[in-house]
Amino acid sequence: MASLTAPLSDTGNSALLGKVQYWFACFFAAGWTGIVCAGLGVQFISWEHPCPLCMVQRMFMLLAALGAGTIVRKGMTGTVTGRDYMTGWGLALVACVGGGFTAWRQTMLHILPGDEGYGAPVLGLHMYVWAWILFIASVVAIGIVLAFAHLTAAPAVPATGLHRPIGRIVLWFVGVVIAVNLVAVFLEEGFHWFLPDDPTRYEFFYQVGILG
């Protein structure tokens, strides 16, 4: 059995299709980060306060983005091993399964007839229902990628052209949104250990006396 750290075969169609997985990793990382941005937009534009389960879902989304981001980072160097691919997609898969369970849990809390749910619906569904759908879709997508990994995972990704600048943009995008989300959580939680189940204000500003 070939070593997991050894380069994958790069012959025939594999050399061509292998580039697809790099671009899919870029799309995957940027996509989940964009979804977190949408949540931040609802939070600050519609002035809705995310609950603890909402925040946990965001964390799993960003963890999924980081999983794909490891593949992007390795691809920027020009060489990606089988271990790199499996580590990245494995991390993303764990994140999507965990996030899917968290979104399912929040959905089940509001499944009874007459329950209006938490927050305002978006396109007819609450955000945690959308999150559940997207997490499950991502699990399926990762499964398809892994099933065809012998065709779509190539060891050589050119470190020139668009690969490197776009990869750098994606990683910076992920990093900046992680930082923004950390600040948003801190402002809502303040100096408490836990978020309240139904937050109604940004505790930090009240604790430091800016608001009162």
pLDDT band at residue 153 under the 50/70/90 scheme: low
Q: What is the pLDDT of residue 17?
A: 61
Whether the Cβ atoms of residue 65 and residue 205 lie closer than 8 Å to each other: no
Phi-psi region of 14 (alpha: psi -120 to 50; beta: other; left: phi over 0): alpha
pLDDT above 90 covers a percentage of the chain that reads 36
Residue 73 token pair: 């980072």
Average pLDDT over residues 113-119: 69
Q: What is the pLDDT of residue 10?
A: 45
Say which residue the tokens 């609950």 belong to.
51
**pLDDT, tens only, 18-37:** 677 888 999 999 999 999 99
pLDDT band at residue 13 under the 50/70/90 scheme: very low
Give the span between the Cα atoms of 80 and 153, in whole angstroms. Answer: 8
Among 39-43, 112-116, 144-148, the least confident range:
112-116
Q: What is the pTM of this model?
A: 0.84
Average pLDDT over residues 178-202: 85
Q: Which residues of 18-33 are buried (b: 16+ CB within 10 A; e: fewer)?
A: bbebbbbbbebbbbbb
Among 68-82, 131-145, 146-160, 176-190, the least confident range:
146-160
